Chains A and B, each alone.
Chain A
């Protein structure tokens, strides 16, 4: 077998790994965590600018209840700020 150049080795490793569920799932988790922070930032900003929960929910494409429950909190499970 001919010897592989270092970049071929890393390319090969990357190609093998992209099929690996461990990589795929961990990548999705990283992406989800990123989305959570971005969503929190945007919702906080919109509320600070006086947007209603209804308008925020419309932009996010979810129900008013969903966004209100997640960000304004529902009493007992209110997110600590």
Chain B
């Protein structure tokens, strides 16, 4: 079963919020750092409670992410497709509206998938995160680790707690370890993301004075208390 099909309603909501957080930074991808911000934004969540108790409310997370953008460890807003095309005099939102009005958003998505499918077969084409639909998904490893956390607890559903555990586990390894495939490395380079160094999630969490291990212990204690 696909990871997303196991997501509970609140976990789905976290991913929607993560997408919005990526939008806020005008990033053309969704990474673990946006998922962390999404987790912090969720209202009435056990996970956001844990994050807040550790000094990681959404404002603090956003401030840290902005700092990483300034430090060049995350791409700046000018790196987004819409800004790059704007620099060439192309209004991407107008193009999107025009083609969606003509062909419908489903056809636009289908065309985008076809282009991506071709890019996998032809190594010379660099097409990732089409300007017209969607963002590149770079949080796959964190989410697959989240599903392993749920598996380890014998739970079918993946909730926000598992997502946080997956994000924390993913952040323990520096960027580029284990070495991602050539396609992911190319997408990261194209998006202006570093290939090495500590994970942004780790930097955000440690900037608030806590550690990945301490947060993990908090989540596990919370899950244990609830069961």
Interface residues of A (CB under 8 A from B): 14, 17-18, 22-23, 26-27, 29-34, 36-38, 40-41, 44-45, 70, 77, 79-81
Q: Size range of the interface on B?
A: 20 to 34
Contact A29 B126 (CB under 8 A): yes
Q: Which residues of A contact B81 (CB under 8 A)?
A: 30, 33-34
Q: In terms of DSSP, what is the predominant structure of the interface of chain B?
A: helix
Q: In terms of DSSP, what is the predominant structure of the interface of chain A?
A: helix
B49 at the interface (CB under 8 A from A): no
Contact A27 B85 (CB under 8 A): yes
Neighbour of A79 across the interface among B78, B84, B107, B114, CB < 8 A: B114
Q: Which residues of B contact A45 (CB under 8 A)?
A: 103, 107
Q: Which of B88-96, B155-163, B170-178 contacts A (4 or more CB under 8 A)?
A: B88-96
Neighbour of B131 across the interface among A14, A33, A44, CB < 8 A: A33
Q: Which residues of A contact B121 (CB under 8 A)?
A: 77, 79
Contact B88 A27 (CB under 8 A): yes
In the assembled complex, the Cα of A41 lies from the Cα of B79 at a distance in Å of 25
Q: A26-B79, A33-B127 are in contact. Are A41 and B107 (CB under 8 A)?
A: yes
